[in-house]
């Protein structure tokens, strides 16, 4: 798989676990270590692990294994796929490392989660009306009898 396509696929897998602020950094010509960084954030240590596992498992199903996995702490996971390196940070840890600024010469592409497909509108059901109960016949009005004077 070409590195650019792999980077996009990694970003999509990260988004499947609600990763935030996902960016793909093109390092070609800037670094001999890798071609792309994919950087994203999570809200908790559990989410960070979940994002990394989703990427690892999703690529493993396609026969792509990580060359190296590094867990620096519970709030940062690195997956190295040689041409693409994924960094998953806790949202409070990411500004400390600030990879986007460190690699400021890199072309940076923000990846957004695809908007959910609009739900198909189901045709409104016709209101089913119950047949009205037959009306009871109104009592017959009887003219009052006249009193006859005696």
Class of domain 3-111: alpha beta
Q: Judge contact between 108 and 39, C-beta under 8 A.
A: no
Q: What residue segments make up the domains of the chain, in order of their start?
A: 3-111
Write the pLDDT tens digit of every residue in 80-139: 999 999 999 999 999 999 998 888 888 999 998 765 556 666 666 665 666 666 666 666
**Three-state SS for 41?**
strand
Helical ranges in the chain per DSSP H? 3-15, 45-60, 94-97, 99-102
Write the pLDDT tens digit of every residue in 24-75: 999 998 988 899 999 999 999 999 999 999 999 999 999 998 999 988 778 8
Strand pairing category for 107-111 and 20-26 = antiparallel
E-strand stretches of 1-150: 20-26, 36-42, 68-73, 76-80, 84-90, 107-111
């Amino acid at each position: 798989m070409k590195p650019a396509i792999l980077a996009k696929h990694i970003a999509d897998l990260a988004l499947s676990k609600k990763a935030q602020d996902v960016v793909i950094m093109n390092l070609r010509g800037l670094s001999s270590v890798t071609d792309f960084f994919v950087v994203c954030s999570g809200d908790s240590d559990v989410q960070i692990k979940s994002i990394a596992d989703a990427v690892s498992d999703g690529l493993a199903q396609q026969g792509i294994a990580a060359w190296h996995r590094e867990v620096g702490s519970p709030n940062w996971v690195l997956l190295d796929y040689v041409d693409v390196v994924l960094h998953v940070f806790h949202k409070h840890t990411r500004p400390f490392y600030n990879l986007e600024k460190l690699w400021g010469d890199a072309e940076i592409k923000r990846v957004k989660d695809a908007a959910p497909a609009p739900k198909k509108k189901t045709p409104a059901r016709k209101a089913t009306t119950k047949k009205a109960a037959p009306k009871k016949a109104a009592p017959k009005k009887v003219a009052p009898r006249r009193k006859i004077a005696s």
